[in-house]
Structure 1
Amino acid sequence: MKVSIEISMYPLKEDYRQPIREFIDTLEKQDTFTTIRNSMSTTLIGNYQAIMPVLNQAMESSLKDLPESVFVIKLSGGCL
């Protein structure tokens, strides 16, 4: 099933840019789905089964490094 996932990461620390860049870089290394950077969020487009394991691992890794982070995710079927 094809999906679009919009995700925003909010590291709750003064130097917030670097953790966001690292998170997005991890997602962009994948070639099984499309990653589109925006000013306030990142959009992932592709197969649900391909995106979710990568997204899960990337969020878990980020939360281990910086537990004081918030992720906001919007998931929709199809390609929006």
Structure 2
Amino acid sequence: MKISVELTLTPLQDNFEPPIKGFIVTLRNSDFKVLENPLSTQIYGEYDSLMPFLTNAVKEAFLNLDHVVLHMKLVKSDRSDYEPDF
């Protein structure tokens, strides 16, 4: 089953950019399709392989930060080729 996941990592600290960039680099270095915009990062793939990858990536990010919030949306389908038609 294909899924689309939108992620927004929010470190609750003054120097917040390096952990966000590190998290995005981890996602980019995967074999999954990754798209970025200024507010979030989307990653696309098969549920059974993507979810274990995300579990490890999120755990790694959380271990390196004292206080952090992660917003995640899951969609059942690959929405990576979505184009508005209006």
Q: Identify the TM-score tier after normalising by the shorter chain.
A: over 0.9
Normalising by structure 1, report the TM-score.
0.94
Q: Name the one with the larger strand percent.
A: 1
User: Deviation digits for residues 29-66 of structure 1, max 9, x if unmatched?
Assistant: 111x2011111100011111121111111110111110
Larger Rg: 2
Could you list the runs of 5+ residues in structure 2 that have no partner in the other structure? 80-86
Could you list the runs of 5+ residues in structure 1 that have no partner in the other structure? none
Normalising by structure 2, report the TM-score.
0.87
Q: Which runs of 4+ in 1 moved over 4 A?
A: none
Aligned length: 79
Query: What is the CA RMSD across the aligned residues, in angstroms?
Result: 0.8
**Percent identical:** 34
Matched residues in 1 for 2:66 and 2:6: separation?
Answer: 21
Post-superposition offset of 1:67: 3.0
Post-superposition offset of 1:27: 1.0
